[in-house]
Structure 1
Amino acid sequence: MDVSCDLEVDVNGEEVFMVDKKVVSFYSGRINKLFSKSKGLSRTLKVIFNDFPGGAESFELMTRFCYNKGKIDISPVNVSTLYCVAHFMEMKGSDSGNPNLLEQTEKSLEEVRYWTWSELLLAVRQCQDLQPVATTSGVLKKYMDSLSGRIACSGAELSPCPSTSSPESSGFRLSSDTRSTESLKNSSFKGTWWFEDFVALDPSLIEMLVKSMLSKNVDHSIVSKFLFYYQKSRFAAVATSEEKCKITEAVVQMLHTLDPALVSFKSLFGLLRIALNVNKSKCCRNQLETLIGSQLDQATLDNLLIPSPAGTKYLYDVNLVLRLVKSFIGKGACCLPLTRLRKVATLMDLYVAEVAPDPCLKSSKFLALIKALPDSTRMSYDGIYSAIDIYLEVHSGLSEEEKLTVCSGLNYEKLSSEACSHLTKNKRFPSRSAVQALISQKCKLKSLLHETNRPCSFTESPSSLVEAKGKAKKDESCQQIVLYAGKLDISTENERLRAHLQGMQWRVLELEKVCRKMQIQMAKMMRSKLSAQSNAKSLPRLCS
């Protein structure tokens, strides 16, 4: 075959090659199509490739195949490049029987399951420079499936390198890679020995690897650990914020596909603090907050105390916390166990108390934090009362209406007697809140009186009577609230409330007298029973 240089090829702007058009077009369907009508022309032709897979080095490898009459040694070292070039240049052969580079490389790739771990890694790294052909041709997926399959099977203390002793064998042998072998001898590396091998890969390749691992049922907790390791390692290697943003978004997107219960909550918060400093997309932020919010009951107060973003006056990022709580509740509080809800409620009580002294925190945001969780999640509102007390002290300039709005976050029925007593004397709270606290205490005491003043008989044990007296004694503290009600400046329409409160005080005193009489009569009856030494008789009812 005569050789001439009548075709000029510019490869990705890296290098210009002068080749024989006739020789190259004999093996390349793409070149043949481009210049099939220019056979009679004597002038030099030119073609420019801007997306040639592998660049100038790959083109040179292809020309060796063409000038060597379709012969080249194919190995794991060059098969990826040759396969992608064969796809790009349409080197599929023809009816004339010329050598088919695509077919030769496909046969070589059928042996991929017998490659060593190191050979597979090298092939994957080469594919980074062969994009997008490496993905569209399917060769990269073939490598990833082989790698993820070995990771899935590496729970045993064996190497990821399959035996090459026979084509039929699918067993494993010890690796010739010293580092991998030593790592696998240590049980702590059984699930993580492969982490470092993939740190240099682009996020797009990592995403493909993760999808393949999940299809092979690799443990989600191991996958999540790898993603956090990858993010940390890559951040140490890259310099620009654009690259960090790209890595963060890719990692968050992959974490979002995992079971949230198997993703480390501590690592998620660490990633959140990092993500706050990069210009991430809204989608990335939502995915990360959803992951964290789903496990909010594992958080601590320190986790939530994240400084507010630049440009805001708040001390802490309360908007972020509100979004996390919203993510935690998700479809509704009824879908979550009460124990988890109450853990978050306790956490929010601590958080509200922490942000209450912030002079820049608006009352609407403060109230939103209090009402972020349903009322049923809190056993007591004493913590919220204390936080509101601090907030009203710091924000002394609030109007009466604004104070009432803030106090609407209180459930007076879930305040302890001590808290109610303190509230009625607290001048920082509006008078209407003090009245509501008194009403709540009245309802509680009325319920208690009804229970204690029930009909009883001497068949009841002395302990039950003592308990009844104890309840009455316990309500003595309520008298102070009732007495204090007389000192309040209550409007005319609340005179009925005053009468009820006075009547309640009278009933408490009467109840104490009845209990004392019951105790004396019970003691007399017990003495007469011992002296008579006879069967117990029915005793008359003392009260009705």
Structure 2
Amino acid sequence: METPSPKGSPFMSSPFAASPNTEILLRRTVLAWTQETGLPTSVRVRVDGRSYDLHKSPLTSKCGYFRRALLSSSDVELPENFPGGFETFEMVALFSYGYPLSLDPFNVSALRCAAEQLEMTEEYAFSNLGERSDLYINQVVLQGWDDTLIVLQKCQPLLPISEELLIVSRCVESLAFMACMEILDPEQRRDRPVISVQALSGRAWNSEKVKQITGQDLWIKDLIALPFEFFKRIIGSLRRQGMKEKYVSPVVLFYANKWVLSKKTHKFWESTDECSGAEEANNKVSAILEGLLELFPAEEKADGVIPVSFYFALLARSLSLKLSEKSREKLEHQVASRLQFARVEDFPLPESGTIAFSPELKAMENIISNYASSNSGTDFNRSTHFSSSIVAELWDRYLSQIARDPKLEPHRFVQLIEAIPVSFRETHDHLYGAISIFLLEHPDLSGEEKASVCKHIDCQKLSQEACIDAVQNELMPLRLIVQALFIQQLQTHQALRDCSDSFRYTYSVALSGTGFTPTSRSHPPTSQNLSESPYKQLTDESPYKQVCGEGRSGALSHHVEYESASFRLQALEDEITAIKKNLQGKSTSKKQSFRLFGREDKVLLKRRSHSGQVSTCIGSLSWASQRKCASGILKMLRRIALLGKGKAKMKQSSF
């Protein structure tokens, strides 16, 4: 904080700052009073196990408390919770004897509280201790950042009387005002911008790195060193006085980083007298975390202010703490509201032990369920659908990590898959990858267990690469492999049709410059059933032949190339049709039905016999022949790819 302390503010300049000298000075003052008045000491005051022999007149002249107490006895014992203890009483006694009292930020709060308890008001003496202390706080302390901070820290052991005297409130409001001026004052020229947490977005949370960033602004460093009760009140005052949330939230974040996430702070607490062990230190951290959850901004204000990695760091830390159920649910809800901005690296994993029923996985499952329930009932607009697909992809990638646990049971893995609704998954590639890893790490699964896990894969939502991999994956059930084969066939048919239509359109455009007006056949059709074949032979009346008859050699060469490509496409289509008929014929011979895209569990799974045959939903067919069919389709796909390259060359030549 750049705001300097006012001139004349006596830091550590009081003779009462060193307590051993105060007691000696009091004895000398009492002795001088005895010598001056000739009166012996007549009162004994006990405080904090110590006793002081004093004169009655100085005490009763300024203290209403002693005026009443000494009416019945000359031996007075002050309460155990006397503000400031015996050190403060020694300063009060010196003031009563008329010794010039020097106030400073280190003693003024204790003296003001002691004056209130001893009733040292203007009713008993002019410019009494209570009035003088209040003036010093208002006119000196509250005008400077450092003085106010010191007084506020000294108020903690003086609660609740320091709160009743509004010392805490005045300090809190003053600090909040000066913090706002540090940021909002247009005349304040800063060499660097205010600390922002934008640089922390998209990175793993690192407490030590964040701690280094915090030290760049001293006013933030001072605030996060305060006890939580005072810090909480300052944050509330900052918001009331109009500080923007983008400046307030980082302060809360830095406080949590120091007192909740920092391992060094936790170890420090374990070694202090306040905490006798790790359990008490955890209890203290739990109390701070529960309080901080109340200070986080609302969901709509948190976007772009607090990085999502911070929420996950708090979540991971909370798993080892004893939070209340309400606080835990609130934290999980805040994580769920920011889930679409997370990375899979942010998701917590147990450091050791099994994953299946770890608190980390349970917490993530609750968060995903929370997100799904809060988004399933809403209208699925484009933005919501996009966010849901991102969350589903993150969850599937997280499943790929936990699928490696050999102790993860199939039914538990299925529960985790079903945590995300089917409509959220735009693609099943990552889900297929997670299931493939799970099957690889669990080789002893039965056919029924494999089917229960793999039934969640929709081959229509697999990319071409994933679909090809599924056909070649020996870990997958035969039912899924056959589905992938048929999906691949449909995709190949569509690719052939699009390729042929593209050829027709390209050459019709190329020939239109010769005076030929293309017919409707020259343009790619807008819609066509997959079962229809778009590939037809050229007739003698073809406009391409008319052009050739006119003697245009360039167009003739293009026509010959087109005819060659068309025949090749037709041959590929005939080959695919033959494979399909072969599969359907064998299925008919065994009189078994197969539902191509069915998800029902009534479809029979593959079972191997001792002879190596496989009993499947398409009949008795050897595994080798199935692989041969798959290999045939894959070869055709490669040939289509080569054909596509030829098409590109033909396009270039046409222009």
TM-score scaled by structure 1? 0.67
Decide whether aligned partners of structure 1 residues 387 and 73 sit closer, same or farther in structure 2, where only a CA change above 3 A counts.
Answer: closer
What's the secondary structure of 1:8's corresponding residue? Answer: strand
Aligned-pair CA distance for 1:194: 1.1
Matched, 1:462 2:528: no
Which one of the candidate residues 346, 365, 377 is aligned to 1:303? Answer: 346
Confirm or deny: 8 A CA contact 1:231 1:247 kept in the other structure. no
Matched, 1:6 2:43: yes
Which one of the candidate residues 385, 410, 414 is aligned to 2:432? Answer: 385
**Which residue pairs with 1:204 in the alignment?**
229
Confirm or deny: 8 A CA contact 1:342 1:378 kept in the other structure. yes
User: How far apart, CA to CA, are the structure 2 residues paired with 1:114 and 1:41?
Assistant: 41
**Which residue pairs with 2:445 in the alignment?**
398
**Which residue pairs with 1:39 in the alignment?**
71
**Which residue pairs with 2:375 in the alignment?**
332
In the TM superposition, 1:309-328 aligns within 5 A as 317-328=360-371
Query: Counterpart of 2:302 in structure 1: which amino acid?
Result: P
Confirm or deny: 8 A CA contact 1:28 1:89 kept in the other structure. yes
Aligned-pair CA distance for 1:104: 4.1
User: How far apart, CA to CA, are the structure 2 residues paired with 1:312 and 1:346?
Assistant: 20
Confirm or deny: 8 A CA contact 1:307 1:315 kept in the other structure. yes
| Gap regions ≥5 residues in structure 1 | 159-171, 175-183, 449-457, 503-544
**Which residue pairs with 1:118 in the alignment?**
146
What's the secondary structure of 2:47's corresponding residue? Answer: strand
**Which residue pairs with 1:539 in the alignment?**
none
User: How far apart, CA to CA, are the structure 1 residues paired with 2:163 and 2:182?
Assistant: 26
**Which residue pairs with 1:257 in the alignment?**
296
* Structure 1 vs Structure 2 CA RMSD: 4.8
| Gap regions ≥5 residues in structure 2 | 1-36, 197-216, 271-277, 496-517, 534-568, 597-602, 604-617, 620-655
What's the secondary structure of 2:291's corresponding residue? Answer: helix
User: How far apart, CA to CA, are the structure 2 residues paired with 1:321 and 1:342?
Assistant: 17
Aligned-pair CA distance for 1:322: 1.6
User: How far apart, CA to CA, are the structure 2 residues paired with 1:54 and 1:41?
Assistant: 24
C-alpha offsets along residues 370-396 of structure 1, whole Å, 9 cap, x if unaligned?
Answer: 222222222222331232233223223
C-alpha offsets along residues 306-354 of structure 1, whole Å, 9 cap, x if unaligned?
Answer: 2256676779932232233234446334377222222222222222222
Decide whether aligned partners of structure 1 residues 482 and 331 sit closer, same or farther in structure 2, where only a CA change above 3 A counts.
Answer: farther
Matched, 1:63 2:93: yes
**Which residue pairs with 2:155 in the alignment?**
127
User: How far apart, CA to CA, are the structure 1 residues paired with 2:350 and 2:588?
Assistant: 43
C-alpha offsets along residues 433-491 of structure 1, whole Å, 9 cap, x if unaligned?
Answer: 6687799999999999xxxxxxxxx9745322497499858998798677546667999
In the TM superposition, 1:258-297 aligns within 5 A as 258=297, 259-261=301-303, 262-276=305-319, 285-297=328-340
What's the secondary structure of 2:288's corresponding residue? Answer: helix
Matched, 1:154 2:154: no
Which one of the candidate residues 320, 338, 341 is aligned to 2:388? Answer: 341
Query: Counterpart of 1:368 in structure 2: which amino acid?
Result: Q
Decide whether aligned partners of structure 1 residues 17 and 272 sit closer, same or farther in structure 2, where only a CA change above 3 A counts.
Answer: farther
Decide whether aligned partners of structure 1 residues 469 and 492 sit closer, same or farther in structure 2, where only a CA change above 3 A counts.
Answer: closer
What's the secondary structure of 1:218's corresponding residue? Answer: coil
User: How far apart, CA to CA, are the structure 2 residues paired with 1:491 and 1:22?
Assistant: 119
Confirm or deny: 8 A CA contact 1:357 1:394 kept in the other structure. yes
Which one of the candidate residues 84, 109, 133 is aligned to 1:54? Answer: 84
Confirm or deny: 8 A CA contact 2:347 2:364 kept in the other structure. yes
C-alpha offsets along residues 359-418 of structure 1, whole Å, 9 cap, x if unaligned?
Answer: 112334322332222222222223312322332232233344433432343345534577
Matched, 1:350 2:393: no
User: How far apart, CA to CA, are the structure 1 residues paired with 2:401 and 2:228?
Assistant: 39
Matched, 1:372 2:419: yes
User: How far apart, CA to CA, are the structure 2 residues paired with 1:220 and 1:403?
Assistant: 51
Which one of the candidate residues 82, 85, 89 is aligned to 2:111? Answer: 82
Aligned-pair CA distance for 1:143: 0.9
Identify which range, 419-428 or 282-291, moves more after superposition: 419-428
What's the secondary structure of 2:434's corresponding residue? Answer: helix
**Which residue pairs with 2:247 in the alignment?**
222
Query: Counterpart of 2:452 in structure 1: which amino acid?
Result: T
Decide whether aligned partners of structure 1 residues 355 and 101 sit closer, same or farther in structure 2, where only a CA change above 3 A counts.
Answer: same
Confirm or deny: 8 A CA contact 1:313 1:360 kept in the other structure. yes
User: How far apart, CA to CA, are the structure 2 residues paired with 1:260 and 1:248?
Assistant: 22
Decide whether aligned partners of structure 1 residues 206 and 156 sit closer, same or farther in structure 2, where only a CA change above 3 A counts.
Answer: closer
Confirm or deny: 8 A CA contact 1:8 1:16 kept in the other structure. yes
Once the two structures are aligned, what percentage of the paired residues are identical?
23
Decide whether aligned partners of structure 1 residues 26 and 263 sit closer, same or farther in structure 2, where only a CA change above 3 A counts.
Answer: farther
**Which residue pairs with 1:542 in the alignment?**
none
